[in-house]
């Protein structure tokens, strides 16, 4: 039950955080938003580094760094970009394939063969996501160019693939090591920063200073809610549940 409640909690956290992050695209690029939220989250969990045994867990730490690079640095940046180019509805259309993809890859890569009722649940969630995505939001605009839409589709698909691969790596480490969700979260965040920081322009700090206090609070709160709490709960899910079932529950966020 812990895994189920963690999945639903993570879904709720991401749902609200994503609405706050999307508003920040007026002021920052996708990579800048991703970098800022991960820096904040990494600093908040930084004391966890003191609990790590780097020598005995070197292989697991390496896999988690790769997971952070693929899932958080690359995947989240592409996801934010797809939200900006396609809008929420169209992005969700492509996100709807993630439960099926996670279940299939989990079967092949982790040898986690789901029960029949899990497959049925996965199909129901996938169909539900498609149903949500097919609803046109009131006042939704469609003036994006064909090139912008095509780029957005590419970013959305890559973000889904990155997220699922990163989840499988996390699941493998959590099941086969003594690392806890707090530790795996911090390692993954560090991995994402290794890739993101070189792309952050010097004027980001000036952009943050120019924000209103309300927007600064939204940025901080979204980072804590969607990154610290969201990823921590996600890691609990991957430790407690098979990847297919866990990802299906996490996909209820739309």
* Long-range contact pairs involving 105-111 (C-beta distance under 8 Å, separation at least 24): 105/164, 105/165, 105/168, 105/243, 106/168, 106/171, 106/242, 106/243, 106/244, 106/247, 107/244, 109/168, 110/168, 110/171, 110/172, 110/242, 110/243
Tell me the residue length of the chain.
Answer: 254
What are the pLDDT digits (tens) for 117-146? Answer: 888 888 887 887 777 666 655 555 545 556
What per-residue confidence (pLDDT) applies to 65? Answer: 95
| 14-18, 56-60, 98-102, 116-120: range with lowest mean pLDDT | 14-18
What per-residue confidence (pLDDT) applies to 88? Answer: 67
Distances (CA, A) of 29 to 26, 37, 204: 8, 12, 10
Rounded Cα distance, 16 and 165, in Å: 24
What per-residue confidence (pLDDT) applies to 184? Answer: 93
What per-residue confidence (pLDDT) applies to 149? Answer: 67
Can you tell me which residue has the tokens 């169909």?
Answer: 127
Q: Is the pLDDT of residue 89 over 90?
A: no
What per-residue confidence (pLDDT) applies to 28? Answer: 82
Q: In the chain, which ranges are continuous DSSP H helix?
A: 2-23, 30-44, 58-67, 76-95, 98-109, 116-133, 146-176, 181-196, 204-210, 213-223, 230-240, 243-250
| 58-67, 109-118, 142-151, 196-205: range with lowest mean pLDDT | 142-151
Q: Is the pLDDT of residue 202 over 60?
A: yes
| Mean per-residue pLDDT of the chain | 83
- Please give the residue that has the higher pLDDT: either 150 or 122: 122
């Amino acid at each position: 039950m812990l895994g189920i409640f963690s999945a639903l909690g993570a879904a709720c956290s991401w749902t609200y955080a994503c609405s706050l992050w999307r508003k920040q695209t007026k002021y920052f690029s996708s990579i800048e938003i991703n970098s800022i939220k991960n820096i904040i989250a990494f600093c908040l969990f930084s004391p966890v580094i003191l609990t790590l045994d780097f020598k005995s867990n070197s292989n697991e730490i390496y896999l988690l760094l790769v997971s952070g690079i693929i899932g958080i640095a690359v995947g989240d940046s592409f996801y934010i970009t797809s939200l900006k180019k396609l809008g929420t509805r169209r992005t969700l259309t492509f996100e709807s394939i993630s439960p099926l993809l996670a279940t299939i890859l989990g079967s092949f890569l982790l040898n986690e063969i789901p029960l029949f009722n899990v497959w049925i649940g996965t199909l129901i969630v996938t169909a539900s996501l498609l149903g949500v995505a097919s609803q046109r939001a009131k006042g939704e605009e469609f003036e994006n160019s064909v090139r912008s839409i095509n780029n957005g589709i590419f970013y959305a698909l890559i973000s889904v693939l990155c997220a699922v691969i990163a989840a499988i790596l996390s699941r493998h480490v959590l099941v086969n090591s003594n690392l806890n969700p707090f530790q795996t979260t911090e390692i993954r965040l560090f991995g994402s920063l290794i890739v993101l920081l070189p792309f952050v322009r010097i004027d980001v700090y000036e952009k943050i200073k120019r924000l209103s206090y309300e927007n600064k609070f939204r940025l901080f709160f979204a980072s804590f809610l969607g990154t610290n709490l969201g990823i921590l709960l996600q890691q609990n899910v991957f430790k407690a549940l098979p990847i297919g079932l866990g990802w299906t529950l996490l996909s209820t966020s739309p």
